[in-house]
């Protein structure tokens, strides 16, 4: 199964999966959307679409960009909200890792469909899709 989750940010739910977490983390470390997308194995356009989607959901930027001139100097950095997404995703990941050892997860099943299921665990919504 492939997992995606919704991270609660400012009373809204932001979709995040491992690839998008990696993208945001690499933007934070590398200072470049282009380099981060390449290193995460995500097409640049898909990376931009994800960033725009999250920014539309939240109504604020998660990445700030500076255009470079002829000599370069451009770059990108995560806003405080972008950093909060990373922090909250890591909290969820740690909670799931702790639960993995007992092979039990306390939560509420919100929905079961042919595509998978949706579970709420500790305030996070997790979508488990069938591969």
Q: Is the separation of the CB atoms in 77 and 63 below 8 Å?
A: yes
Residue listed under structure tokens 């995500």? 42
Q: What is the pLDDT of residues 55-64, one digit of tens each?
A: 999 999 999 9
Q: What's the mean pLDDT when you consider all of the chain? A: 82
pLDDT of 120 higher than 90: no
Q: Is the pLDDT of residue 99 over 70?
A: no
Residues ≥6 apart with Cβ < 8 Å to 33: 27, 44, 47, 48, 51, 63, 65, 76
Proportion of the chain above pLDDT 70, given as a percent: 69
CATH no. for 2-129: 1.10.10.10
Whether 97 shows a pLDDT value over 80: the answer reads no
- The pLDDT score that the predictor gives to residue 83 is 97
Q: Are 4 and 11 in contact (CB under 8 A)?
A: no
Please give the model's pTM, rounded to 2 decimal places: 0.73
Name the pLDDT band for 22 (thresholds 50, 70, 90). very high
Tell me the percentage of the chain whose pLDDT exceeds 90. Answer: 46
């Amino acid at each position: 199964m492939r997992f995606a989750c919704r991270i609660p940010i400012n009373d809204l739910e932001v979709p995040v999966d491992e690839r998008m977490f990696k993208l945001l983390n690499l933007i934070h470390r590398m200072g470049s959307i282009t380099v981060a997308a390449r290193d995460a194995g995500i097409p640049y356009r898909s990376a931009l679409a994800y960033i725009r989607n999250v920014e539309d959901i939240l109504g604020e930027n998660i990445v700030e960009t500076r255009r470079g001139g002829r000599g370069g100097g451009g770059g990108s950095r995560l806003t405080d909200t972008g950093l909060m997404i990373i922090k909250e995703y890591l909290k969820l990941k740690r909670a799931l890792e702790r639960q993995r050892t007992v092979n039990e997860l306390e939560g509420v099943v919100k929905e079961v469909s042919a595509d998978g299921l949706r579970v709420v665990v500790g305030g996070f919504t997790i979508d488990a899709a069938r591969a």
